[in-house]
A and B are shown apart, each in its own frame.
Chain A
Amino acid sequence: MSATTAVVLQSVAYLALVLFASPLLEGVMRKVKAIIHSRKGPPIIQPYLDLAKLLIKEDLASEPGLIARLAPPAAFASVLAAAFFVPFGIGAPARSAGDLFLFIYLITLSSACIMAGGLAHSSPFSHVGSSREMMMVVTVEGVIITSLLIVGVSGHTGLLSDLTATPFRWSFLLGLVCYLFAMQALLGKLPFDIPEAEQEIMEGPFIEYSGPSLALFKWAFYMKQLIFGSLFFGLFVGWPHLTGWGVVGSLVNFVVNFAAVLVLSLLVVLVDATNPRLRIDQSLRFFAGLIGVALLGVGLAAFGL
């Protein structure tokens, strides 16, 4: 087996794992939320059923424009591409193809697609949602990139796969806190689900989407949960991985990582279920403050603290 074949095979396996494992996270989160609510909740496989249902439904297009049609697949594709830079317990196929900035660009691109999709429609709700998304991106992505930089500066590397929070530095604690808050917002969870805000603007940028287009947006969000969860462990926790053992070893590593992400998801859903939605101005002030904290972290990291 040549090296190219191996990479291709690895990529295909990676693709399948990311695509088909991520809705499970969402299913577990919904179940946990239901328990907090004293509800029975949907079965854990509900997100798979939702995606399947949406994918076979008619795609009702209220706007014939190209941007409106391309936004969902583009958002989906950019998140999927970003996934290739993140180690899910197993080595990322695109580990040395780009650094953390490329990763952030891809994540931002998916947000930009959501915004563009919202603005391509004439509903005032999607416009309000898009403008909120824009404000969120500016602040939240500032926070996440700064928190990644804290680890990057310490390790003198920009490659996501090589970023690791060992040996321990105090600045990592600041990075960790900032990362967790930013992750909550990037995943569209309360108290930061402001761009969608069902009760205020009826899902904002997604209001005009249905069927497969909506499914792609939703799937992109499910993948983000796996991506940011895994990245958290890769960055701030890091534990020894099984080496050797071929495919079995990789699978074990993936499953261990996935289980860890599930545990982290409990924290995400706990915050989600115990908070009201903030207003956009309150959220902006909050993340502006966090950028300050994260920059302080970078400063400390630069001095080796």
Chain B
Amino acid sequence: MAEPQKILEEVGSRLGEKVLESRRLEASGAVAVTVDRHDLPAAAAFLDRELDARFVISVGTDLRDAGQGFRVDHIFSQDVRKTWILLRAYAPAEDPAVPSITPEVPAAAWAEREFQDMLGIRADGHPDPRRLVLADDWPEGLHPLRRDVPYDVHPEPVSGVAPPMAAPPGNAVTIPIGPFFPVLEEPTFLKVFADGEEVVGLDYRGFFNHRGIEKLGDSKLTYNEVPFVAERICGSCGFVHSTSYAQAVENAAGVEVPLRAKYIRSIVLELERIHSHLLWLGIAGHILGFDTVLMQTWRMREPLMWLMERLTGNRKSYGMNLVGGVRKDIPKEQHAEIIRVLDEIEREWRKVMKAVLDDTPLLMRLSKVGVLSRQDARNLGSVGPTARGSAQPIDTRINHPYAAFDRIEVKGVWKESCDAAGRTLVRLEEALESIRQVKLLLSEMPEGPILHTFTEPIPAGLEGVSAVEAGRGEVIHYVITGEDARLYRWRVRAPTYANLQALAASLKGMSIADVPITLGSMDPCFSCTERLQVVDVRSRRVRVFTPQELREMTRTRRIPAEGGQ
């Protein structure tokens, strides 16, 4: 008997009458269990503790069109048994509230705050019900992911509104890290409380650049437009998002993707991971003032970027994925070049690894820094190298195999040291493992088509889940199909969302000097935005540059005239 079926029966026998409905989402490797909303905390506690299922994310859905009120899904992953568990409950439209599961499952803290913000479904009993995603001047009662709110709503900005943030405990001083800080390439605000050099607490406000991509995906874009937007969720792991999205829709619709397309996806995903780990090591070096590491790893990365441009047409944001397969083949003639580039990276990477492992001052800055205990990593829902550096044997390629990863052996890398050094070693070794995988995939890649041909439209009301292991950790996409070749609901969880929630735990007791590298060791990614806005301070006039103008600026080194080329 398949694991999902067994899990359904275990849940049924254990929760008994509390289970109102249960079913399998066959292609996604998922089961959905519906309980009364008041039973959510107890059921979540059972999944977490007795079934050893790891909390992943919550999805709030506005089903008022269908007369079903609101629905909340808490997605869990039983990693060993390779099954997603969707614990769901309904809340009536006139009383949009569910009891919070955060007191039982701390990893759900942000997810519940998010559906409070975005759908106006209250999480009653949440220990920290402050706003998470919505801007501080966003009007009360306007919940953007409700279906009656248009995607392009623009409330009037209000000035002088500040987020309600914690005060420093005792005599501690506030060290503001962000919203803009030298080693944070993206805006976020960490209010670090320090006693002398020692960190004694932390408060967080982020989501400053929330772009409302989910809303765009379930109101404006069609199925095959979404992959290109999904790719813009993250500048360095874009292909992860487009793959994860496409697979979620394919799982929902029960589409069989040609095998060759699966291999191509796996190859591009692993090439993206190699690039991501090279990029990360450089940034980690920079954070510690070791710019030679930054410059050299980024130099090593460059041939990979050129390779990707030749394979896909772009250095990044490859634009390769569609629902049902990929747009571009990797013909035999390109294999030798891929292998040549990988061989060169491997040769240099081994030297880098040796240099890092032999560098006493560097190890002094990484060992016992940003300590995240196994228990915290598990309970706060950490993923990717952050979790694997804390001895959590979770890797989506192994736990929920996708693309061609069920056809090759994936060697998971995890370390016991639970610190920044552990996370570094995980990435160092993983890059080599990815090189091995790409070579293996290339040699085994079967012939055949690369794109599924649709003969009829995808029916509405189907659900799909798919996760992909990004360089930073597990990315998960959940979809509900809708009418007019559009999604009804699209939910995305990027790995940083999970990992940042463990930051407070891993910073406690560290020195201020360790804050940047602790954060950096999680490879955070908050909001990749390439947007240049110039404000004339005298006239208060704002000019936003278009992508074309930015490109022109990089080529001509002149600011283009407004409105023209």
B-binding residues in A (CB < 8 A): 33, 36-39, 124-125, 127-128, 131, 190-191, 193-194, 197-202, 273-282
- A190–B364 alpha-carbon span in the complex (Å): 14
A276 touches B362 (CB 8 A): yes
Known: A37-B291, A37-B296, A200-B512. A277 touches B365 (CB 8 A): yes
Known: A197-B513, A201-B512. A276 touches B365 (CB 8 A): yes
Nearest Cβ on chain A to B560's Cβ, whole angstroms = 26
Q: Which chain A residues border B194 with CB–CB below 8 Å?
A: 128
B511 touches A199 (CB 8 A): no
The contact string, 1 if C-beta is below 8 Å from chain A, for chain B 274-316, is: 0000000000011111111011100100000000000000000
By size class, the interface of chain B is 20 to 34
Tell me the nearest residue of chain A to B176, going by C-beta: A124
- A279–B366 alpha-carbon span in the complex (Å): 11
A276 touches B361 (CB 8 A): yes
B512 touches A282 (CB 8 A): no
Is B514 located at the chain interface by the 8 A CB criterion? yes
Known: A128-B197, A200-B516. A278 touches B295 (CB 8 A): no
Tell me the nearest residue of chain A to B362, going by C-beta: A276
Q: Which chain A residues border B299 with CB–CB below 8 Å?
A: 38
A-binding residues in B (CB < 8 A): 173-176, 181-183, 194, 196-197, 285-292, 294-296, 299, 359, 361-362, 364-365, 511-516
Q: Which chain A residues border B359 with CB–CB below 8 Å?
A: 276
Known: A197-B513, A200-B513. A280 touches B197 (CB 8 A): yes
- A277–B516 alpha-carbon span in the complex (Å): 12
Q: Which chain B residues border A36 with CB–CB below 8 Å?
A: 292
A281 touches B295 (CB 8 A): no
Nearest Cβ on chain B to A191's Cβ, whole angstroms = 6
User: Chain B: interface secondary structure?
Assistant: helix
- A202–B291 alpha-carbon span in the complex (Å): 16
A193 touches B513 (CB 8 A): no
Q: Which chain B residues border A197 with CB–CB below 8 Å?
A: 289, 513
Nearest Cβ on chain B to A261's Cβ, whole angstroms = 23
- A199–B183 alpha-carbon span in the complex (Å): 6
A273 touches B512 (CB 8 A): no
- A279–B365 alpha-carbon span in the complex (Å): 7
Q: Which chain A residues border B181 with CB–CB below 8 Å?
A: 202
A199 touches B292 (CB 8 A): no
Nearest Cβ on chain A to B72's Cβ, whole angstroms = 41
A198 touches B291 (CB 8 A): no
Between A and B, 12 residue pairs with Cβ closer than 8 Å are A37-B296, A38-B295, A38-B299, A191-B361, A199-B288, A200-B516, A273-B291, A275-B361, A276-B285, A276-B361, A279-B364, A280-B511
- A255–B288 alpha-carbon span in the complex (Å): 36
Most buried by B among A128, A194, A281: A128
Tell me the nearest residue of chain A to B511, going by C-beta: A279
- A233–B398 alpha-carbon span in the complex (Å): 61
Nearest Cβ on chain A to B513's Cβ, whole angstroms = 5
Nearest Cβ on chain B to A37's Cβ, whole angstroms = 4
